[in-house]
Structure 1
Amino acid sequence: MRLTNPRRRRGPSRRTWAGPGVSRALGLAFGFAADRVLGDPQRFHPVAGFGQAAARLERPLYADSRASGAAYTTLLVGATAAAGLLAERATRRHPVLHTAVTAAATWTVLGARSLEREAEAMAGLLEEKDIPAARDRLSHLCARDASALEADELARATVESVAENTSDACVAPLLWGGALGVPGLLAYRAVNTLDAMVGYRSPKYVNFGWASARLDDVVNLVPARVCAALTGVAAGQARESVRVWRRDAGKHPSPNAGPVEAAYAGALGLTLGGTNSYGTYAENRGTLGDGPTPTVADVRRTATLARRVGVAAAVLAAVVGVCNGRGRGWG
């Protein structure tokens, strides 16, 4: 005669379902929804606070050497990851709190809605033929020298920036959140922010920013390719997107922006790339795609595609979160 307790036999499966993976997935979904509805926090943005702290720390640590830049990057990313790990461990036995903390972190690090708003603002200015205002506005999207750019070049810069930043501001943080939870979300945003601050090939940062730029390349290797794949699916042009991605991505100097921009070029039927000026230096980004170069009308098309890619990435990240938390009960 077997003496078993049916209630105990059912217990593990119930705990598994309600484990940290589910609360992580819910937090990612709620955070993504908050970004879609609210955009970036308007006051006391934690990412802006991190940027200010990084700028203050740069002053005493700066030296024209890779070693100094590596120490700077390690300190800032390490501290951010440690804070995320403490938050994760403090809440992972409390499902509602864990969901709330994950949602808050997700909302904080995502920039998809703000990116879309910038694209819409650029589209409006270009449609109104307000080129001086559009040149000024481009600085919200990228660091290119826009002083001599006309409407179609401004449109190209916007399309390329939206494509690249869809990976950086949406797909990558969601995937790292699904894989590692709050530490993944916060550490990824720290890496990406430092790359935006010091990861340039300018004389000042070519050495000091080297570690930040290389670390950003590493953490984006997988997300960028996932973003490229989702782009073709979201556009209903998977075959063409993959074809252009495989053929042209290597022409781009960035190992991660190349696949994403090439996938967007194939999905939208455009040709992207060319020589871009960044003030103190110029960069040839190759030619990606087979169609016409972007015009003003393509800016809104790109924003719509980026929104669809973001939704697909949120679903994928939630699935990753559930799978990573499977078997980890709250007990």
Structure 2
Amino acid sequence: MSIALSLLAALLLDYWFKEPKRFHPLVGFGNMASLLEKRFNLNDKKGGVLAWCLAVLPWVFLGFLLQYSLLDMPVLMALVAGVVLYFGLGWQSLLSHGMAIAEPLKRGDLQAARQAVSMIVSRDTSELEEEAIASAATESVLENGADAIFSALFWFCLLGIPGVILYRLSNTLDAMWGYKNTRYVQFGWCAARIDDLLNFVPARLTAASYALLGDTAIAIKAWREQGRIWKSPNAGPVMASGAGAINVSLGGAAIYHGELQQRPALGPETGDKPSAESIKLACELVNRVLIFWVVLIYVVTAVLVSVQSASL
């Protein structure tokens, strides 16, 4: 039952304390990654591969050693693993960012909503109007449900402490280096591809969960028709399914770094327009899926324990 105990501890810590404002390990990791990028970014893939290895693999190895050293102390290992998982999750942080956009948007305070949405998206937000702000926020909540929560849970259940470390650090490097601009197109190739690989299965499990716990028929149709044509192989299925699940029309044109990009549509053509309500619905969908995953993990864990006990 160690996975179940770790999961409970991590979610309680995240619920009570949310994202630490100071001394978050990922802040220190980000600073180290910046130094590595300055040292190894010579606009080639080899430098990016080496920098990724130096940034991630030592911490994954330490996570393995920590987990191995606690094998004979299952309760302590479960609690330690719960703390590590807590630092790898972004559940309450994601919901807080989403509602920080929805609330001023509902009041008609576009300036506050633009400022809040600029904290979680990479597109230009200074001129966004109400519908575009809501669309950006709803897309971000749906996409980051996978990135910030469900992918981390997947790798933790699969590999324990080293699994969640591997995923979270790799995802952080993708967010820092995975851009297709002059500075990162070669150097960031490794970080982007590894993040795509690590997210491939959990992203599709998230999309399936969105469909199961939302408007299933519309979600599956959107996933099938729209997911594969999105620029990201993992964000496409997640956002298309999520948009269908809450029956909202997303996607379309957006400005990134001063350049207008025509993005495919997401969700049903006849769906609701993005609004403060669609942000709230996206947050509620993420919560329903999290409850579903937690219950499923507990059931599977209990079954495995029962089978193991019966075999002894």
Whether 1:81 and 2:60 are equivalent positions in the alignment is yes
Shift in CA distance, 318/192, structure 1 to aligned 2, threshold 3 Å: farther
State how far apart, in whole Å, the 1-side matches of 2:56 and 2:301 are: 22
What's the counterpart of residue 241 of structure 1?
219
Shift in CA distance, 316/173, structure 1 to aligned 2, threshold 3 Å: farther
DSSP-derived class of the 1:292 partner? coil
State how far apart, in whole Å, the 2-side matches of 1:282 and 1:90 are: 52
Alpha-carbon distance, 1:60 to partner: 1.2
Task: Report the count of equivalent residues.
Answer: 306
Alpha-carbon distance, 1:29 to partner: 2.3
What's the counterpart of residue 292 of structure 1?
272
Whether 1:199 and 2:184 are equivalent positions in the alignment is no
DSSP-derived class of the 2:265 partner? strand
Alpha-carbon distance, 1:37 to partner: 2.8
Shift in CA distance, 277/306, structure 1 to aligned 2, threshold 3 Å: same
State how far apart, in whole Å, the 2-side matches of 1:46 and 1:217 are: 23
Alpha-carbon distance, 1:26 to partner: 1.3
Q: Is the 1:224–1:260 Cα contact (8 Å) retained in structure 2? A: yes
State how far apart, in whole Å, the 2-side matches of 1:187 and 1:103 are: 16
Q: Is the 1:178–1:320 Cα contact (8 Å) retained in structure 2? A: no
Alpha-carbon distance, 1:322 to partner: 6.7
* 1:3-22 equivalent positions in 2, closer than 5 A: 22=1
- What is the one-letter code of the residue matched to 2:156? G
Residue of structure 1 aligned with 2:79, choices 100, 110, 118? 100
Flag the structure with larger Rg.
Answer: 1
Q: Is the 1:159–1:294 Cα contact (8 Å) retained in structure 2? A: yes
Larger mean CA deviation between 158-167 and 23-32 belongs to 23-32
* 1:211-226 equivalent positions in 2, closer than 5 A: 211-226=190-205
- What is the one-letter code of the residue matched to 1:132? Q
DSSP-derived class of the 2:264 partner? strand
Per-residue deviation, residues 143-174 of structure 1 (Å, max 9, x unmatched): 11112211110000000000000000000000
State how far apart, in whole Å, the 1-side matches of 2:202 and 2:93 are: 20
What's the counterpart of residue 292 of structure 2?
312
Shift in CA distance, 219/72, structure 1 to aligned 2, threshold 3 Å: same
Alpha-carbon distance, 1:36 to partner: 2.4
State how far apart, in whole Å, the 2-side matches of 1:174 and 1:70 are: 26
What's the counterpart of residue 151 of structure 2?
172
State how far apart, in whole Å, the 2-side matches of 1:259 and 1:294 are: 19
What's the counterpart of residue 91 of structure 2?
112
What's the counterpart of residue 253 of structure 1?
231
DSSP-derived class of the 1:220 partner? helix
- Tell me the TM-score normalized by structure 1: 0.87
For structure 2, list consecutive stretches of 5 or more residues without a partner in the other structure. none
DSSP-derived class of the 1:277 partner? strand
Q: Is the 1:158–1:299 Cα contact (8 Å) retained in structure 2? A: yes
- Tell me the TM-score normalized by structure 2: 0.92
Shift in CA distance, 321/67, structure 1 to aligned 2, threshold 3 Å: farther
- What is the one-letter code of the residue matched to 1:257? A
Whether 1:232 and 2:216 are equivalent positions in the alignment is no
Per-residue deviation, residues 38-75 of structure 1 (Å, max 9, x unmatched): 21123211111211111122211121111111111122
Alpha-carbon distance, 1:210 to partner: 1.0
- What is the one-letter code of the residue matched to 2:286? A
- What is the one-letter code of the residue matched to 2:220? V
Q: Is the 2:103–2:276 Cα contact (8 Å) retained in structure 1? A: no
* 1:268-283 equivalent positions in 2, closer than 5 A: 268-283=246-261
Shift in CA distance, 170/267, structure 1 to aligned 2, threshold 3 Å: same
State how far apart, in whole Å, the 1-side matches of 2:155 and 2:15 are: 19
State how far apart, in whole Å, the 2-side matches of 1:97 and 1:65 are: 44
State how far apart, in whole Å, the 2-side matches of 1:142 and 1:161 are: 7
Shift in CA distance, 315/92, structure 1 to aligned 2, threshold 3 Å: farther
Alpha-carbon distance, 1:318 to partner: 4.7
Say what the alpha-carbon RMSD is for the aligned residues: 1.9
Alpha-carbon distance, 1:327 to partner: 5.5
State how far apart, in whole Å, the 1-side matches of 2:93 and 2:284 are: 13
State how far apart, in whole Å, the 2-side matches of 1:276 and 1:324 are: 47
Larger mean CA deviation between 28-37 and 279-288 belongs to 279-288
Shift in CA distance, 280/324, structure 1 to aligned 2, threshold 3 Å: farther
- What is the one-letter code of the residue matched to 1:201? K
What's the counterpart of residue 241 of structure 2?
263
Larger mean CA deviation between 301-310 and 280-289 belongs to 280-289
Alpha-carbon distance, 1:35 to partner: 1.3
Alpha-carbon distance, 1:264 to partner: 0.9
DSSP-derived class of the 2:254 partner? strand
Give the share of equivalent positions with the same residue, in percent.
Answer: 37
Shift in CA distance, 86/320, structure 1 to aligned 2, threshold 3 Å: farther
State how far apart, in whole Å, the 2-side matches of 1:213 and 1:317 are: 29
State how far apart, in whole Å, the 1-side matches of 2:302 and 2:166 are: 20
Alpha-carbon distance, 1:317 to partner: 4.3
State how far apart, in whole Å, the 2-side matches of 1:71 and 1:324 are: 39
- What is the one-letter code of the residue matched to 2:97? E
DSSP-derived class of the 2:252 partner? strand
DSSP-derived class of the 1:89 partner? helix
